[in-house]
Amino acid sequence: MKVRERPSIPDEIVDEIIIKLPAKSLMRFRCVSKIWLHKIDSLAFAIKRSAAASASASADEDNQILQLTFASKPPFPFHLLTLEDGNIIKRSAHPILELPNNIQESNFISHSAYGLFCFHTRGGVGKAYLCNPLRKEVLELPQATAGGSWLDFYGMGFDGTTSTYKIVRVFGKRSEIYTLGTSSWREISSVPPEDLDNMSNGVSAYGDMHWADDDHFSFGQRKGVDNCVIISFDFKKEEFKRTPTPDFGSLSYEHERFVMINLKGCLAIVILTPEDIEIWMMKDYDRKEWVKEYKITHNCELIIKEFCLYVGAWGPGVVLDAYCSQKLPVVVFDLKTREVLNLQVPLRVDYNRRNYSYAANILSLRHFGSIIGAEEDRRCQFLKTADLVYLRP
């Protein structure tokens, strides 16, 4: 009797299916077979996912919140925050990872994008590192061409024309760029058309980097919405440019807060007023067209008065958390249901605790150099419980 062969799915179709899966699922599927392990771990597969995300106006990967805690001495852990039943924010019992000792004391996060965190030195040595929490990998970048300071600005992007990740560094009146996988930085002629000192830490969207005026650092001297500026860096052309802001109409900004985020792959501006929250999204990046996508009624008067305010994408919505405030609730705006949730959280954001909006990335930094922290290297003691915390359903 002839055995009937089971029909197989072409590899091309399988690739198109799994490339759309969340990074958390892909990390588990690495255990299916050696073929899947090599496919998911390959640089080509990670680049293809990044290219699709950069070109899309909506991201499939839901953002999560990672909380980094600074203490008087190492270790400095990353914890994952999750939303439980009863509108309670729960922090993972064990850290996702702990930072390597050699980047704990003199470095701080200057930027996070594409599921990667960029650290750079506070001193004048021009050292920088990349960290992928999902992979528990830390990569030391080549020495910069010139020394730096705490006012250096870093930004990450994805160049779809060359399928490469790039990092731009602005120091003083000079700029340089580094392409992951190469051996050195190279200085470029383009510099920001405006000083970045009073700009936010920046947002990556559509493969490019964007900085906006940040009233957190303006010491009460607000410019007004009509005078707000967005400076962008085009990683394809490797040049800085101004990006137009929306026509905000009658907003005075005297009683509003202006925050820029990446929301579902789009560059977005969140404006908090005493009566409501507005979210403007740049749906067409080529034409630079802004759309007021959401307007939700909510009393934000108290939270507007906070000097430091964390705003970021989280799951289906946007989360707001005031630094060092035990009185105000953490607020989540669910953009699917248009509901406003006031949440409880065990440990609030303060000067020793920072939240970061995070969409996991399967990209392994081992493709670009030697990872800090082999098993025998005490400088990088990642917890053995991390896989249990993050990779399990």
Least confident segment among 49-58, 122-131, 148-157, 267-276: 49-58
pLDDT at site 166: 95
pLDDT at site 324: 61
Average pLDDT, the chain: 78
Least confident segment among 41-50, 90-99, 122-131: 122-131
pLDDT at site 227: 63
Q: How confident is residue 162, by pLDDT bands cut at 50, 70 and 90?
A: very high
Least confident segment among 66-80, 100-114, 292-306: 100-114
The answer to whether residue 38 is domain-embedded is no
Q: Is the pLDDT of residue 5 over 70?
A: no
What does 46-64 look like in DSSP terms, one character per residue?
HHHHHHHHHH-SS-SSPBE
The answer to whether residue 6 is domain-embedded is no
What is residue 29's DSSP assignment?
H
Torsion angles phi and psi, residue 346, rounded to 5: -70, -40
pLDDT at site 220: 39
pLDDT at site 392: 45
The answer to whether residue 304 is domain-embedded is yes
Domain count of the fold of the chain: 1
Task: Give tens-digit pLDDT for 319-366.
Answer: 887 766 666 677 888 888 888 887 766 665 555 677 888 888 999 999
Q: Is the pLDDT of residue 235 over 50?
A: yes
Q: What mean pLDDT comes out for the span 284-301?
A: 87
pLDDT at site 307: 55
The answer to whether residue 11 is domain-embedded is no
pLDDT at site 123: 62
CA distances from 24 to 30, 129, 245, 260, 393 (A): 10, 23, 35, 27, 9
The answer to whether residue 196 is domain-embedded is yes
Q: Is the pLDDT of residue 106 over 80?
A: no
Distance in angstroms (rounded) separating the CA atoms of residues 136 and 305: 37
Distance in angstroms (rounded) separating the CA atoms of residues 186 and 352: 34
Task: Give tens-digit pLDDT for 164-213.
Answer: 999 999 988 899 999 999 999 999 999 999 888 777 768 999 999 999 87
CA distances from 61 to 170, 306, 316 (A): 30, 30, 10
CA atoms within 13 A on the CB side of 291: 9
Q: How confident is residue 291, by pLDDT bands cut at 50, 70 and 90?
A: very high
Q: Among the ranges 72-76, 94-98, 263-267, which has the highest mean pLDDT value? A: 263-267
Question: 375: exposed, middle or buried (C-beta count within 10 Å: 0-12, 13-18, 19+)?
Answer: exposed
Which of 113, 157, 137 lies closest to 370 in space, CA to CA? Answer: 137
Domain extent for 67 = 52-390
The answer to whether residue 147 is domain-embedded is yes
Percentage above 90 pLDDT, the chain? 24
Torsion angles phi and psi, residue 301, rounded to 5: -60, -45
Find out whether 111 and 98 touch, Cβ atoms under 8 Å.
no
Distance in angstroms (rounded) separating the CA atoms of residues 65 and 7: 42
Q: What mean pLDDT comes out for the span 90-115?
A: 74
Q: What is the pTM of this model?
A: 0.84
The answer to whether residue 386 is domain-embedded is yes
Residue 289 belongs to a domain with what CATH number?
Answer: 2.120.10.80
Which one is predicted more confidently, 7 or 221? 7
Q: How confident is residue 217, by pLDDT bands cut at 50, 70 and 90?
A: very low
The answer to whether residue 32 is domain-embedded is no
Produce one character per residue of 83-113: b if its CB has 16 or more CB atoms within 10 Å, e if not: beeeeebeebeebbbbbbbbbbeebebbbbb
